[in-house]
A and B are shown apart, each in its own frame.
Chain A
Amino acid sequence: MAGTIIVDRIESDASYASTINVANKITFSNTANFVGAGNVSIGNSNSQAKVHIGSSTTAPGFGTASEMVYNIGANQPEFLVRQTGSSVVCSIAADSTGGYVRTATNHDLRFITNNTNQMNLTAGGLLQFNSGYGSVATAYGCRAWVKFSGISNSIVASGNFSSITDQGTGLYRANFTNNLVDANYAVVTAAQPNGYAGAALGAGGPNGAGDSNTNTYVALECRNYTNNNNEPNELFVAVFR
């Protein structure tokens, strides 16, 4: 039988456990305040936090000294976990531009699979991963790369290069789509020889066009074994920083 129970106040003697069994739902017509030192739990009878959703109590960092807050904002829903012993705060959030996984405090974000730490994003912004290396260590990214055909003068495939400038025989600029922070990067180059001529690439400069590397382009020069400028069949460039 459906019905409504209006309760102003529920009290119990501290020596008695109190249970209210509700078959359908509880509706609060005003702000609901749960006052006191106890916890609120959903889906378990042994709450481990101020708000504890679900029955698991074994998640790393989630114990009796932790808090778990599920915050639903109008524009920014956020699921936040705080380890009160160390003040580490980690959350999953979203806004109208995208999703976020973060630590809100000065701590690393760690990724674990098979119960083993496999990858970190450190508080200082370093990306560390194992990926067969043997340990979780900082990896340095390839910031731009290109395979360029000297025969058809076309970019076969690339990343973060918006164009290649032909400045003359064997002289090139590889122009970044997004500039680098400075010119102190390392360039790895290779070239497939054109005909009988050997091909070699210098990167750094100044090259024969008077170009040196900048934070907006890589200066390249290709020469054959007689030390004359030469156009390779294929040109490969990778930039690390």
Chain B
Amino acid sequence: MTKRIVYPKDGGGIAIITPNPDCGIPYDQIALKDVPVGKPFLIMDTVDVPTDRTFRDAWDADFSNPDGHALGHFAWVETQPKEESESVK
């Protein structure tokens, strides 16, 4: 089941992230990384996102019980394990 990540835009309405399933990063981690810093987000099944985009700019969602709050790209990178390497000298 593919997923979508939804977060509120500053000026109202919502943004919808299509994660790349081949990038090697789990959906929840993509949310923490690619949603703007501090924003609440929801992770939902793709089938739950409307396909009729006629009124796309009027879409909204309930973020009172979010799946998390974003860290942003660089703070997320800091949470990732560092690869140890023996340096050849």
The interface of chain A, by Cβ under 8 A from chain B, is: 75-76, 78, 93, 95-98, 100, 102, 148, 153-155, 158, 161-169, 173, 175-177, 179, 209-210, 216-217, 231
The residue in chain B whose Cβ has the minimal distance to the Cβ of A93 is B88
Q: Could you tell me if A216 and B73 are in contact, using CB atoms closer than 8 angstroms?
A: yes
Which interface class (under 10, 10 to 19, 20 to 34, 35 or more) fits B? Answer: 20 to 34
A-B contact count (CB 8 A): 91
- Extra A-B contacts (13), CB below 8 Å, given A168-B57, A177-B23: A97-B84, A102-B88, A148-B18, A153-B16, A155-B20, A161-B23, A163-B19, A163-B23, A175-B34, A177-B20, A210-B10, A210-B11, A217-B34
Residues of A with C-beta under 8 A to B33: 162, 175
Q: Nearest Cβ distance between residue A24 and chain B, in whole angstroms?
A: 36
Residues of B with C-beta under 8 A to A158: 20, 22-23
The residue in chain A whose Cβ has the minimal distance to the Cβ of B87 is A95
Q: Could you tell me if A97 and B86 are in contact, using CB atoms closer than 8 angstroms?
A: yes
A216–B24 Cα gap in the complex (Å)?
A: 17
Partner of A209, one of B9, B18, B23, B84: B9
Q: Nearest Cβ distance between residue B41 and chain A, in whole angstroms?
A: 11
Which residues of chain B (1-53) have a CB below 8 Å from chain A? Answer: 2, 5, 9-11, 13, 15-25, 30, 33-34, 46, 49, 53
Supposing A75-B86, A177-B23, A177-B25 touch, asked if A166 and B9 sit within 8 A by C-beta, the answer is no
Partner of A163, one of B9, B30, B56: B30
Q: Could you tell me if B16 and A166 are in contact, using CB atoms closer than 8 angstroms?
A: yes
Q: Could you tell me if A96 and B86 are in contact, using CB atoms closer than 8 angstroms?
A: yes
A177–B21 Cα gap in the complex (Å)?
A: 12
Partner of B56, one of A95, A155, A168: A168
Q: Could you tell me if B17 and A164 are in contact, using CB atoms closer than 8 angstroms?
A: yes
